[in-house]
Structure 1
Amino acid sequence: MRKILVTVFMLLLVVAIGFVIYPPGSGDFQSNGNLSQNREPGAEQYESESTIKNEEDTISDKVSQTVTDVVEKTIDFFVPKTLKIAAIGDSLTQGVGDETENEGYVGVLRNRLQNSNVDELVIDNYGKRGNRTDQLLTRLKENEDIISSVKNSDVVLITIGANDIMKIVKQNFTSLSYEMFREEQPAYQKRLKEIFETIRQYNSEAHIMLVGLFNPFAQYFEDIPELDKIIMDYNFIGQQVVADYSPATFIPIKDLFINSDKNLFADDHFHPNSQGYELMGERILYYVKQVYEIEQN
């Protein structure tokens, strides 16, 4: 949709400038596209340099003013009157851990965007606790509500991947090694690409935003660098997939949960609390605003 709006804007700009330089009825051009022949045969075709300069200045002023007018009249096209967001994924989208029961980062987005220059806001929340990439992919293909929401969305927000990592942890708890996570990465990347491919089949223009992973164990296991390395690896995979499905954006959040002097985690020490989700929501909002030039009221 944004590409269409940019094209319309440029066409309007070209037409407007054309009307300034060659206004209707000016006689500069005839219907056959040739220069006007209204002047008497043998009349002087050259004018003084000062006259030409004055006309050039006048045209320049008119073009400048026209550009300003067109920009002012069409800038609203870049901010959708209705902004539709489909939020899909795991417990982070569902908002698990938010003691205020405000849907986590989705609630933060909703509150902020309702106080912006977006006339009508629609956010569908299809987060489901425990979802891995394979489970989200199944829901994307079978859940008619999710399919409909994605088809009609301007933005598709995704949180996924943490439970893929946790599955490896649970299955190999007594003998964990970094190599186990590395071996699973190609399959994870394949599933993530299929999620993006499925979204693109439903909607070729929606801006897909993949929210990165953070390390919930960093506060307790700072002396185990492999844990942080695993999160970095999976985030890198996310960035690679995002690069293949423009318009798409990877939103990093790992840094938000590092070395904070505030408690950002719920009682389960895994999900964010309301303060953690507040930081997530503000970070995601920043990227949404960059795409749609949204202004806060």
Structure 2
Amino acid sequence: MRKVLISFIAIVIVGAGVLFGIKNWQHHSLNQSLSKTEKVSHVNLVALGDSLTEGVGDTQKLQGYSGRIAKEIREKYDISVTMKNFGKAGDRSDQIKKRLVAQSSFQHSVKNADVLVMTVGGNDLQQLLLKNMTASSPKALSEAVVKGKVNYQIRLAKLLKTVRGYNKQAPIFIFGNYNPLYVHFANREDFNADVKNFNAINAKMATKDGNAYYVSSFDLTYGQFKTKSQRQKLVKQIESDSSEKNATKAMTAVLTGKTSVDNNWISKDDNYHPNDKGYQYMTSQLLHVMKREEKHWLIKH
């Protein structure tokens, strides 16, 4: 029995050593293969946008995804990173553009950026929802959103044109948005559809740019409710809740951050922004797309 135990321990130790060796080899192999194609030694990363870029809800004070992605790039690619954050809570697409045009420091940073990352559209959509809160039906609300997305596309196009006026070369990584209302209104499929409509514009404009790339953050919508059965159970719970009779009042409370939250990826402070876990998810999503497109920012040209 003792010999069997010793053999088992030896196998575990050897296995752990092999796993550690594989991870080190992968990291070494990545950097070695990139060095052959003249990897850059430094990256200027500029984040611009709304509260998701500012990092509202981040208790670690890492400026949301922006500080985290800078750290990930340093560690994974063994290069230095300078990160500038120009996120401002509450900004719509037109307001981000207005700040860029008005602020010389913002312009200078964008001009010198090797990578641009943007969050946009969430406040444009929220304004539409609040404006049409008293719509007679979910269908009427969605119709208002569909009409509003036309104007949003125009504003986003102007923002991207302005950014490109300062920097034509850097890749732009554009986040989509999520539905922070989901855990309170899981039976309202139209809310998810509204967010996806706006996300489609972000993805479309990224493709149209030619050197911009869409990054999804939609799974923040569901948080811990990952499976279909979990979501169905949540819908039943909401439909049986007596507060559903005051849906308009409840939605206003959620949008203005005046109620509790039950999404493990969303901050309990305001019921809207990601918490640390949520921002780490956004960072992972961004890193995944940046890795796929690393020839546009990591390799010397």
**TM-score when normalising by structure 1:** 0.71
Residue in 2 aligned with 1:103? 63
Residue in 2 aligned with 1:264? 265
Residue in 2 aligned with 1:221? 185
2:110 aligned with 1:146: no
**TM-score when normalising by structure 2:** 0.70
Residue in 2 aligned with 1:155? 115
Q: Name which of 270, 278, 281 aligns with 1:279.
A: 281
Instruction: Give the letter for the 1:266 counterpart.
Output: S
> How many percent identity over aligned positions?
29
2:52 aligned with 1:92: yes
In structure 2, what is the Cα distance between the partners aligned to 1:257 and 1:181?
18
Could you say what secondary structure the match of 1:218 adopts?
Answer: coil
Note the residue ranges of structure 1 that are not aligned, 5 or more in a row: 1-70
CA contact (8 A) 1:83 1:118 kept: no
Could you say what secondary structure the match of 2:288 adopts?
Answer: helix
Cα deviation, residue 72, structure 1:
6.7
Cα deviation, residue 253, structure 1:
1.2
In structure 2, what is the Cα distance between the partners aligned to 1:81 and 1:257?
37
Cα deviation, residue 259, structure 1:
5.2
CA contact (8 A) 1:150 1:202 kept: yes
Distance 1:274 1:202, change over 3 A: same
In structure 2, what is the Cα distance between the partners aligned to 1:264 and 1:73?
34
Between Structure 1 and Structure 2, the one with more helix by share is 2
2:143 aligned with 1:179: yes
CA contact (8 A) 2:64 2:279 kept: yes
Instruction: Give the letter for the 1:216 counterpart.
Output: P
Instruction: Give the letter for the 2:288 counterpart.
Output: Y
Query: 5 Å matches for 1:53-72?
Result: none
Cα deviation, residue 97, structure 1:
0.7
Q: Deviations over 1:33-57 (max 9, x none)?
A: xxxxxxxxxxxxxxxxxxxxxxxxx
Residue in 2 aligned with 1:200? 164
2:201 aligned with 1:241: no
Equivalent pairs counted in the alignment come to 223
